[in-house]
Structure 1
Amino acid sequence: MFGDRHVIVVDLGFGDAGKGATVDWLCSPQAALDVSTVVRFNGGAQAAHTVIDGTRRHTFRQFGSGTLSGVPTLLSRHALVDPIALAAEARALAALGVGAPVDLVSVDERALLTTPIHGAANRCREDARGTGRHGSCGMGIGETARYALDHDAPRVRDCRDPDVLRRKLADLERYYAPLLAAGRHHHDPVDDLVAAYSEFARAVAVVPAGRLAALARTGRLVFEGAQGVLLDEWRGLHPYTTWSTVEPRRARAMLAKMGEPGAVLGVTRAYQTRHGAGPFPTEDAALAIAEPDNTTGRYQGAFRVGHLDPILLRYAVDACGGVDALAVNHLDVIAGRGDICTAAGYFIPDGYLRRLDCGPWRDLDHQRRLTELVGHSTPDLVPLPDDVPAFLAERLQAPVMLTGHGPDRADRRARVAAAA
């Protein structure tokens, strides 16, 4: 299926579709793909990619989901790096028996830093929105990206220069002072952050721009995406989106710059989910589906479930510029259930819709109209086919390479040989 191509893993929904379990399997001996490195190409410490391998269970946030197989991680220039959270995750991995976890991670020196100042500002801003919250995780991811648009933002390389880092953190603190004063969230003193980040720079490999090309020469790269395409900053249902390019554009660009081939693996559940606010046409509160790894978050909101929606999934595939293969997870959840359906189309105010227009990239007016349209659509629900992977392969026009029939790595099934 992938041949000698590198693999870009993207979630075709609103997140939580099983990217971590998929990446874990791709990096495992069972897949035999000779993966040299997992590359995080978007998002930050708000990721929550749960992997279970027998008795070992870990929710990956910044480390790549191939870590339990000993595969190193590169946090690329497009990742948002939280050194304090990274240290906590390293301790959790060490407790699982992963030897010297910090030796398995390297960080592009150009990556932005997410700090407790960003996090406090994020929570103050969401508090001020009241019932109009956008569904943020409250960890400062959007504030990190927002601040960097117009300011000399702190970056990973600054952790090696305490004077530069202190100046940038002080500027950041001054910028957010009015917002923080109006709220009730606080952060660590700047001097404490400088000390912690300096230790981070001594412990972790901070690498220059050319490291990715060197890693590509040692084996296959797996690019692990965060969140879902329907939350993409330019393709998602605005304004219920993330400050991150989720679709594979940036991963493809990194590979193209090196002249390396890549294949996109789109990941979905066999039903739909959404964590937080925003339109969700097939949502059905009557569906009693247990969710052990996602709960209601103070800022993100409730975890919601609904029927399979190939209309939104097809839109996500189009937003990706197509995908080469699919991974379909949580098939065990729908087995034997007659109450889970699929959408044949949408009833809309002036007709019937089977496909959503992707529109031009970076056109937020189009995305707002799309959000309005989806928000006022009623799904035409029909019985779920017996063979959901075959159904999705036909509707999304891509072969299903991998299926998930439970939470453990042993529950993955290859439908098409990955290395073929």
Structure 2
Amino acid sequence: MTEHVAVVDLGYGDAGKGTVVDALCGRRTTRAVLRFNGGAQAAHNVVTADGRHHTFSQFGSGTLRGVPTHLTRFMIVDPLALSAEAAALGNPYELLTVDGDALLSTPWHRAANRRRERADRHGSCGMGIGETMAYALGNPDAPRVADVLNPARLRRRLEKVQEAYGFGGTPVDDVVDAFTAFGRAVRIVHESWTMRLLAEGPCVFEGAQGVLLDEWRGWHPHTTWSTTTFDNVAELCPSFRRLGVVRTYTTRHGAGPFVTENPLLDLPERHNGHGEWQGAFRTGHFDAVAHRYAVQVAGGVDELAVTHLDVPALHGELKICTSYRVDGEVVDRIVPGPARDLAYQERLTGWLSRARPGALHRPADWAAEIGGLLGAPVTLESYGPRSTDKRFVSAGVHPPSRIRLPAYCLV
């Protein structure tokens, strides 16, 4: 257990990345948890053995175990949301470092995001992540974390953001004061800090959202403005193990294709529900076709964590879907398109919107079946929300089966 591990959700998010990261941090000495995508929209639930619960957004999910968090340059940092989260955790700023090159999300980004969502429902979390990214793409001087150490420069850049969105809202002076206070509370570091952490001991990379929402590989346009695969990790770390996380049933928040969705399944969620901006929390049978696609576009996985293994025993109608029926054909694979081809992804979205579940079955051993279908060993099984509900399994206990990959193109 001396290797670095990257944790990525192979679905639409909400598969249990937080509880998996917490379990990894509890199994071994971990130098730090490194956040490598997304921002304050993340909602990673951790429940300790004694029932203490926190939903992590920007702090790493190892925080309750005293493991430091580092926000890499790929994060979008929201100082206001981070301050509220820190207060809920007892202000553990001594555990936090932030890359100075990370983008800053502001109240104007958030307001613009919500205004856009009201006009055209996309399924956003309403935290301004997409607006922050879009603004940065068109403005090389978009505010970054290091700017909080230079109030004059910070003010200029914040005024430009406010002007770009054409409405006032929160006074610039208040945001400058809050952001500079954030700069005094946290340790802002150079990108080389990441390499230092990796050299000092094993780290866990914690991803946000899921591969099926990836900005380039998800079902466009119902995606996130974030790279949710292992690509960002590969830019930061030369060697790491790839751990994919799935539930025993597939879920999705808000709009977009969801082939195996079944509203008749009674699968209530303690930590998920209808969101004002995301919309409804949707559930369905385990979608092996979509998850296989996620494994492929993520570059493969070395191992799997399967969560919610306690649920099938309580819900006898829950099954695994291994094929789709679409346009008069039965298919068991989603064919990836060229890299960064959003036109292809949009056609794929239309194709998936016409798809319906094909073959459905109920396995005798859920972990073994999922490992076989996705072609990787299950090394962590979760039977409930608490840290004591986790069980580590030796690689090879659930041997992967051979996956037949047809040669036809779908779209």
Q: Normalized against structure 1, the TM-score is what?
A: 0.92
Give the counterpart letter for 1:167 in structure 2: R
The residue aligned with 1:49 is 44
1:73 aligns with 2:69: yes
The alpha carbon displacement at 1:55 in A equals: 2.6
The alpha carbon displacement at 1:335 in A equals: 1.4
Give the counterpart letter for 1:142 in structure 2: G
1:167 aligns with 2:156: yes
Query: Within 2, Cα distance between the matches of 1:158 and 1:322?
Result: 37
The alpha carbon displacement at 1:377 in A equals: 0.5
Cα distance per residue 1:83-131 (max 9 Å; x no partner): 111111111011xxxxx501101000000001111000111111122xx
Query: Within 2, Cα distance between the matches of 1:55 and 1:396?
Result: 32
Give the counterpart letter for 1:223 in structure 2: F
Choose the corresponding residue for 1:287, options 262, 265, 268: 265
Give the counterpart letter for 1:247 in structure 2: T
Query: Within 2, Cα distance between the matches of 1:288 and 1:135?
Result: 23
1:278 aligns with 2:256: yes
Identity across aligned pairs (percent)? 52
The residue aligned with 1:216 is 198
The residue aligned with 1:140 is 128
The alpha carbon displacement at 1:4 in A equals: 3.4
Query: Within 2, Cα distance between the matches of 1:336 and 1:93?
Result: 33
Which protein, 1 or 2, shows the higher relative CO under an 8 Å CA cutoff with sep ≥ 6? 1
Cα distance per residue 1:333-384 (max 9 Å; x no partner): 1114320111120011041111111122101111112111111111114222
Choose the corresponding residue for 1:225, options 207, 218, 243: 207
Give the counterpart letter for 2:30 in structure 1: V
Structure 1 stretch displaced more, 211-220 or 331-340:
331-340
Extract structure 1 runs of 4+ deviating beyond 3 A: none
1:324 aligns with 2:306: no
Give the counterpart letter for 1:121 in structure 2: A
Query: Within 2, Cα distance between the matches of 1:111 and 1:189?
Result: 23
Choose the corresponding residue for 1:93, options 86, 89, 93: 89
Query: Within 2, Cα distance between the matches of 1:216 and 1:119?
Result: 33
The residue aligned with 1:158 is 147
Checking the alignment, whether the CA contact within 8 Å between 2:2 and 2:201 is kept in structure 1 is: no
The residue aligned with 1:22 is 20
Secondary structure (helix, strand or coil) at the match of 1:206 reads: strand
The alpha carbon displacement at 1:392 in A equals: 1.1
Gaps of 5+ in 1: 95-99, 181-185
Query: Within 2, Cα distance between the matches of 1:21 and 1:248?
Result: 19
Cα distance per residue 1:143-201 (max 9 Å; x no partner): 00000001110000000001000000000011000xx4xxxxx6321011001111111
The residue aligned with 1:240 is 222
The alpha carbon displacement at 1:66 in A equals: 0.4
Give the counterpart letter for 1:237 in structure 2: W
The alpha carbon displacement at 1:48 in A equals: 0.4
Give the counterpart letter for 2:36 in structure 1: F
Cα distance per residue 1:12-51 (max 9 Å; x no partner): 00000000000000001xx12x210000000000100010
Give the alignment of 1:262-411 within 5 angstroms.
262-411=240-389
Gaps of 5+ in 2: 397-411
Cα distance per residue 1:270-289 (max 9 Å; x no partner): 00000000010100000011
Give the counterpart letter for 1:117 in structure 2: W
Give the counterpart letter for 2:19 in structure 1: A
Query: Within 2, Cα distance between the matches of 1:58 and 1:18?
Result: 13
Checking the alignment, whether the CA contact within 8 Å between 1:347 and 1:380 is kept in structure 2 is: yes
Give the counterpart letter for 2:379 in structure 1: M
Choose the corresponding residue for 1:102, options 84, 93, 96: 93
Checking the alignment, whether the CA contact within 8 Å between 1:18 and 1:267 is kept in structure 2 is: yes
Secondary structure (helix, strand or coil) at the match of 1:347 reads: strand
Query: Within 2, Cα distance between the matches of 1:163 and 1:122?
Result: 26
Give the counterpart letter for 1:13 in structure 2: G
Give the counterpart letter for 2:96 in structure 1: V
Checking the alignment, whether the CA contact within 8 Å between 1:311 and 1:343 is kept in structure 2 is: yes
The residue aligned with 1:183 is none
Describe the shift of the 1:169–1:262 C-alpha distance in structure 2 as closer, same or farther (beyond 3 A): same
Give the counterpart letter for 1:305 in structure 2: T
The residue aligned with 2:31 is 36
Query: Within 2, Cα distance between the matches of 1:273 and 1:149?
Result: 31
Give the counterpart letter for 1:67 in structure 2: T
Secondary structure (helix, strand or coil) at the match of 2:323 reads: strand
Query: Within 2, Cα distance between the matches of 1:382 and 1:192?
Result: 55
Choose the corresponding residue for 1:64, options 51, 60, 63: 60
Describe the shift of the 1:417–1:354 C-alpha distance in structure 2 as closer, same or farther (beyond 3 A): closer
Checking the alignment, whether the CA contact within 8 Å between 1:341 and 1:381 is kept in structure 2 is: no
Checking the alignment, whether the CA contact within 8 Å between 2:39 and 2:78 is kept in structure 1 is: yes
Query: Within 2, Cα distance between the matches of 1:221 and 1:56?
Result: 24
